[in-house]
Amino acid sequence: MVNFKEEIAALIAAHVEGLTAEEIGAMIEAPQDKSLGDYAFPCFRLAKTLRKAPPLIAADIAAAISGQPLFAKVEQVNAYVNMFISRAELVGEVTKEVLNKGADYGKSDIGQGRTVIVEFSSPNIAKPFHIGHIRSTVIGNSINKLYDAMGYKVVRINHLGDYGTQFGKMICAYRRWGNKEDVIREPIKTLLGYYTKFHEEAEKDKGLDDEAREIFARLEHGEKEEVELWQWFRDESLKEFSRVYKMLGIEFDSYAGESFYSDKMPQVVQMLKDKGLLEESRGAEIVDLTPYGLTPALITKSDGSSLYITRDIAAAIYRKKTYDFYKNIYVVASQQNLHFQQWIKIIELLGFDWAHDNIHVPFGLVSLEDGTMSTRHGRVVFLEDVLNRAVEKTREIIVEKGVNTDNVDETARQVGIGAVVFQELSNNRIKDYVFSWDKVLDFNGETGPYVQYTHARCASVLRKAGLDAGEDAAEKLSAFNAQYLTGESAYDLCKLIYAFPQAIIDAGEKYEPSVLTRHIVDIAQAFNRFYHDEHILTDNEEEKLSKLALVKATKTVLRNGLALLGIEAPERM
Ligand code: ARG
């Protein structure tokens, strides 16, 4: 597709001495105010070298380039060259490109096949997969899709929290008060009950903590009975997590969690010793990070057991060896900022030049309108319940509104889950936010249902015209005439579609899916203005086909955008 900015830069470069087309390209702006053109070039910086007043320079450039077919109009306004692209040119280019590329529209190859790891979700075994986990799960899933679209090879890792002293507590509680049938029937809620009970009882009986510690030590030493119980808890928990991943359409390439690194810990400790980084402190071993403004990192405990941070150091080293990653991205809550600063600093102190290719992508808290959840006290909202409720509520809305669908259950599932995911990806990730059912399911707001509905609307228009699928339809649409698509709203829509590939790159490079979410809301809104302003199914065949080509392009872009957010796009709604 024509890169308008680059074309313009080349044209200007041919008339300006001393600046490369690239430098000029970086100076070209896209004015917010449409009356100032699609692109503007400020001439202030040229005054010195050209020894001329900026408005005069702008006037010269405007005169020199204005005859080009690329432009509808070129104006000098003060120190600016304001350029209006020929509408037919842009609209024609964009529509043709989307029709040709289809599902690939938006992809780029800036990744050049380099490997990027995206670690996301990473819940703790035998603990609830609660509403707080939705953020890492959904944001991470979108980031992996964005990097895939940018031409990287993505490895999706679920760093399960399947190790640590809490398993000593869990096994201890199970042995004292547990029951196999309950665990099988409802694994996580039951195991959570044991965990809660352990804490209550440990308040009264100080011996319990020692017992749990001993059990965990036996687990670390690979004692058969403990390992079997742990494995069983892990399997049952994974079954429950998998149900949620399935609902969300999420897959992983690796479930190598914390336990995977248990045998790789001694090496890390040895490396730290060899580098002289390890210090003893009351029987435990630490790395002093105070010279770097960070609190000391606890590497091993006085009983010799390993710690969360040590496992993360081992994991990063293992991943570098195994995948030779270009970037190793962690989508983890901002509460763990310090933790990530600490271990990435330690990787640096160990002398690894790839230390800062480990990237922590933090996000804020989600809470519910009726208050936050707390695992310790068992007051917790399960993600699975939220998703199920979203589907149920959507079902009610669908029935009440008489939404057009031939499969109510399927549509309710697609829209309900899409709504929750979309809402999650609408806000700047670092912000805390309150989950609100009204906002999530508003079919007219800047929501998932709104974008999905717009997509279905495109599908319905194409269906009515008998051009919704097949080679035949594609060929007919490809004969569109851009002259029919030069109205204000068609042009606005095409400009947004044109900017879609760049929105993917911006979202990916900032690790911020909300950039893309906002962009596809803009596209949906622009389409609905077009739909409102223009009569699409007119009697003039050529005009109708041309407009339908833009409808098809819009449908394709909305579908591609939703897919990058991890959301389905129903054909009817
Ligand atoms: N399991 C942790 C939790 O639920 C998150 C793990 C984050 N990833 C990491 N490599 N530390 O809080």
Whether residue 250 lies inside any domain: the answer is yes
73/431 Cα distance (integer angstroms):
42
Q: Is residue 218 included in any domain, yes or no?
A: yes
pLDDT at residue 207 tops 60: yes
Residue 294 lies in a domain: no
Looking at 67, 85, 103, which one is the last position of a domain?
A: 85
Calculate mean pLDDT across residues 136-165.
96
- How far is ligand 1, taken at its centre, from the CA of residue 454, in Å? 37
Distance of alpha carbon 158 from alpha carbon 241, whole angstroms: 11
Domain boundary among 321, 345, 368: 368
In a domain, 202, yes or no: yes
Asked if residue 322 and residue 217 are part of one domain, the reply reads: yes
For 393-428, what is each residue's pLDDT tens digit?
Answer: 999 999 998 888 889 999 999 999 999 999 999 999
CA of 257 to the centre of ligand 1 (A): 9
List the CATH number of the domain containing 33.
3.30.1360.70
- Mean predicted confidence (pLDDT) in 372-376: 49
Task: Measure the CA–CA gap between 106 and 40, rounded to whole angstroms.
Answer: 25
361 and 445, same structural domain? no
Residue 93 falls inside a structural domain: no
Domain count, the chain: 3
Task: Report percent pLDDT > 70 for the chain.
Answer: 98
The residue whose CA is least distant from atom 1 of ligand 1 is: 161
Among residues of the chain, what percentage have pLDDT more than 90?
Answer: 81
pLDDT digits (tens, 9 = 90+) for 58-112: 999 999 999 999 999 999 999 999 999 999 999 999 999 999 999 999 999 999 9
**353: helix, coil or strand?**
coil
Q: Which of 118, 122, 157, 188 to mutate to test the pocket of ligand 1 (most atoms within 8 A of CB)?
A: 122
| Residues 6 or more apart in contact with residue 104 via CB below 8 angstroms | none
399 and 332 in a common domain = no
Final residue in a domain of this structure, among 47, 67, 85: 85
Q: Does residue 374 belong to any structural domain of this protein?
A: no
Yes or no: say if 462 and 468 are a contact pair by the CB < 8 Å rule. yes
The Å distance, Cα 151 to ligand 1 centre, comes to 27
State the average pLDDT over residues 318-332.
98
pLDDT at 391 exceeding the cut of 50? yes
539-548 pLDDT per residue, tens: 999 999 999 9
Positions marked catalytic: 127, 130, 133
Same domain? For 248 and 122 the reply is yes
Which residue stretches of 205-264 are H helix? Answer: 207-220, 224-248
Same domain, 421 and 534: yes
Q: What is the pLDDT of residue 409?
A: 94
39-72 burial: b if 16+ Cβ within 10 Å, else e: bbbebeebeeebeeebeebbbbbbebbeeeebbb
Residues 104-118: pLDDT tens digits?
999 999 999 999 999
Give yes or no: residues 320 and 432 share one domain: no
Residue 100: which residues within 8 A CB-CB, separation 6 or more?
none
158 CA from centroid of ligand 1 (Å): 9
Looking at the fold, whether 233 and 345 belong to one and the same domain comes out as yes
396: domain CATH number is: 1.10.730.10
Q: What is the 3-state secondary structure (H, E, C) of 449-507?
A: HHHHHHHHHHHHHHHHCCCCCHHHHHHHHCCCCHHHHCCHHHHHHHHHHHCHHHHHHHH
On whether both 358 and 448 belong to a single domain, the answer is: no
Q: How many helical (H) and strand (E) elements, i.e. helices and strands, does the chain have?
A: 23, 12
Query: Which pLDDT value is given to residue 518?
Result: 98
Cα 284 to ligand 1 centre (Å): 23
Angle between helices 224-248 and 408-424 (to 10 degrees): 100
Does the structure show a pLDDT above 90 at 469?
Answer: no
Ligand 1 neighbours (beta carbon < 6 A): 119, 122-124, 159, 161, 312, 330, 332
State the helix-helix crossing angle for 500-509 and 134-149, rounded to 10 degrees. Answer: 130
- For residue 334, the surrounding DSSP H or E stretch is none
The residue whose CA has the least distance to atom 5 of ligand 1 is 122
Domain that holds residue 432: 383-564
To test the ligand 1 pocket, which listed residue (136, 159, 325) has its Cβ within 8 A of the most ligand atoms?
159
Residue nearest to atom 6 of ligand 1 (CA): 122
Answer yes or no: do 389 and 357 share one domain: no
Which is it for strands 278-281 and 284-287: parallel, antiparallel or unpaired? Answer: antiparallel
* 473 and 402 co-located in one domain: yes
Task: For residue range 295-313, list pLDDT tens digits in order.
Answer: 999 998 877 777 899 999 9
> With bands split at pLDDT 50, 70 and 90, how would you rate the model's confidence at 371?
low
pLDDT at 376 exceeding the cut of 80: no
The average pLDDT across 14-40 equals 93
Residue 274 covered by a domain: no
Is the same domain home to 189 and 323? Answer: yes
Q: Which CATH number do you get for residue 320?
A: 3.40.50.620
Kindly state whether residues 411 and 534 are assigned to the same domain: yes
pLDDT of residue 374: 45
Does residue 376 form part of some domain? no
